[in-house]
Amino acid sequence: MSAAAGTVSLGPVRGIRRVKDTGFTVFLWTCAGLALVPLTWIAVYVVSKGVGALSWNFFTKEPAGPLNPQQGGIVQSFVGTGLIVGIATVIAVPLGILAGIYLAEYGKGRTASGIRLVAYVLLSTPSIVAGAFIWALVVVALGNFSALAGGLSLVVLMWPIVAIASEAVLRLVPQELREGALALGLPRWKTIVRVVMPTAGAGLLTAVMLAVARALGETAPILLTALGNDHINTDIRAPTDAVPLRVYDYARTPVEALHSIAWGGALVLLAAVLFLAISARILSNRQQKRIA
Amino acid sequence: MRKVETVDLDAWFGSNHVLHDVSLTARPGSVTAIIGPSGCGKSTLIRCLNRMHEEVRGARVEGKVLFDGTDIYGTDVDPVAVRRRIGMVFQRPNPFPTMSILDNATAGLRLSGERIPRSKLTERGERALRAAGLWDEVKDRLDEPGGRLSGGQQQRLCIARALAVEPEVILLDEPASALDPASTLRIEELVGDLKERYTIVIVTHNMQQAARVSDWTLFMLFGEVVEFGPTEKVFTTPDDKRTEDYVTGRFG
């Protein structure tokens, strides 16, 4: 039955429009599927190659001798990555959040655009440049490679991520809340610390997690600054190992057993980064809901 | 008796001159309404009365706003201290989303820096919620987030939050324009109750509301005061033709 003139047909769409609709739906699903292929492939491949290396020894032992490498582990890399990324986080997070607060709440004019420009330039700086910079500044000055230098090179990479992301989440906090707090007779800094930052809370945490995820996997700057170490090191002034560095080293050797350990290291890194990225995503979704 | 008085007040946003020589007087125990069409500078004027205007980038003020005879734009006046004594409620309810109902009501006290014992805080929170006519509706759910209340309740929570710091003047910037008629009525009744103890200035684009709640009315047009007088006079026998046209609904 055809619709009478002047009324709107509410029946299902037919004919060419229907075909077009189906065509586009299929096309878009295919695109989404194609985008997922490389990610899934990498994940599956790394898991299949690396899962065999995961053992008690892998997580608890230092590397064994060349005769029986599979007896050893890379505990020194885990400890080292914790130390280096820890140092970087402790420095980059407060500085990054302070910069974000400045840009979102106070900054105007040249100073603010200057800081923002520096942050964006650093954000797209190749990580090996950050490594070379800290090598020249810290390693050469102190006379040796160290966890401290490694951490500082990661600060160069983490700071802009934290600064830019925290500026963005602070700007999402509605202006009405700032005015509400100011109208109660609260000073500006207290308005920021007690009302704006708690409201942005999870968003700020997301910024930190993204930065940590980035730092975890960096190899080049660590190579030039922390160097690596076959033993557990907890002295921030001494050369220190890191997981991505160990993966890089082992992947270049001809020893089959070490390749397997490298895959194991890659798997652990991938899992950690995925965990951080997914947590960040969940937190920021919750945050959106709360503000709205 | 003058609690708040503006003298030749001018205000700008950047190069946009939005208030011209405004003179307004608000008396204790009375409600002063500011009316006028959209964009006439009502909100800017009320925001000048507790120095909120300057929180907008590029905003500027000239002239005087006297509070008990002291110019709040004087050189040694702290805007924070001004806002403690001249509270404000905004157009859209803005309870703090991370705080419970009770914490919202006591936010100004808790964050002020003075040390107030918890029991005292709860007591003052209750008093403020009662004064805002919200206590009976929320007394069993004080720990729930403030954002879970209805729009009208949120607005009364914001009024409670403003009352808790015990100001002397309360500025209401279109406090009911985002609310339904029933909630609007409650807010209007509340304004009637509160004027006993506070000096109230209210911005509204609703003329009936101004006629119902206020004792004094100031009518503005294009950033200038057209007429200021007792509400009854402004609405029945205004001096200016433009006032008459506006209050009788011929434009606006």
pLDDT, tens digit (0-9, with 9 covering 90-100), for A10-33: 877 778 988 999 999 999 999 999
Rounded to an integer, what distance in angstroms lies between the CA atom of residue A248 and that of residue A266? 9
Is A64 exposed, middle or buried (CB count within 10 Å of its CB: 0-12, 13-18, 19+)? Answer: middle
Q: Which sequence spans correspond to the domains of chain A?
A: 2-53, 56-291
Distance CA A285, CA B1 (A): 54
pLDDT tens digit string along B98-117?
999 999 999 999 998 888 99
Pick the residue from chain B with its C-alpha nearest to A194: B111
pLDDT-derived band at A262 (thresholds 50, 70, 90) equals very high
Angstrom distance (rounded) from CA A100 to CA A166: 5
CB atoms A185 and B112 under 8 Å: yes
Contacts of A182 in chain B (CB under 8 A): 52, 55, 83
Say if CB B96 and CB B105 are below 8 A apart.
Answer: no
Residue type at B164? A
For residue B108, give the nearest of A184, A198, A201 by CB distance. A184
**Does the structure show a pLDDT above 50 at A83?**
yes
Restricting to B residues 142-161, those with a Cβ less than 8 Å away from any Cβ of A are 158, 161
Pick from B55, B98, B112: which is nearest to A179 by CB?
B55
The angle that helices A147-172 and A256-291 make with each other, rounded to 10 degrees, is 30
CB contact burial B137-162 (16+ within 10 A = b; e otherwise): bbeeebeebbbebeebbbbbbbbbbb
- Whether the CB of B175 is below 8 Å from some CB of chain A: the reply is no
The Cα–Cα gap between A176 and A182 comes to 10
Return the number of other C-beta atoms located less than 10 Å from residue B222's C-beta: 12
B117 C-beta neighbours (distance < 10 Å), count = 8
The answer to whether residue B134 neighbours chain A at the CB level (below 8 Å) is no
Q: What is the pLDDT of residue A9?
A: 72
User: In CATH terms, is domain B4-247 a member of 3.20.20.120?
Assistant: no
Alpha-carbon distance values, A130 to A113, A212, A222, A244 (Å): 22, 16, 10, 16
Reduce the DSSP state of residue A278 to 3 states and report it: helix
β-pair type (B59-67, B216-221) = unpaired
- Is the minimum CB–CB distance between B56 and chain A shorter than 8 Å? no
Give the global pTM.
0.88
Contacts of B95 in chain A (CB under 8 A): 180
ipTM: 0.94
Closest CA to B170 of B83, B86, B92, B50: B86
Tokens 């798997």 belong to which residue?
A: A267
Lowest mean pLDDT among A62-71, A189-198, B230-239: A62-71
Contact residues on chain B for A181, CB-CB shorter than 8 A? 96, 107, 111
Minimum mean pLDDT range among A65-74, B63-72, B95-104:
A65-74
Q: Locate tokens 């934290």: which residue? A: A162
The answer regarding whether domain A56-291 maps to CATH 3.40.710.10 reads no
Q: What is the mean pLDDT of chain B?
A: 94
Nearest CA in chain B to A106: B57
Residue A68: is its pLDDT beyond 90? Answer: no
Residue A290 binned pLDDT confidence (cut-offs 50, 70, 90): low
Rg (CA), chain A: 25
Beta strand B199-203 with B25-26 is: unpaired
pLDDT digits (tens, 9 = 90+) for B125-138: 999 999 999 999 99
Beta bridge partners of B11: B19, B61
User: With 50 as the cut, is the pLDDT of residue A3 above it?
Assistant: no
- Interatomic CA distance for residues B59 and B19, integer angstroms: 12
The residues, ordered by sequence, that sit 6+ positions from B50 with a Cβ below 8 Å of its Cβ are A183, B72, B79, B82, B83, B86, B87, B88, B169, B171
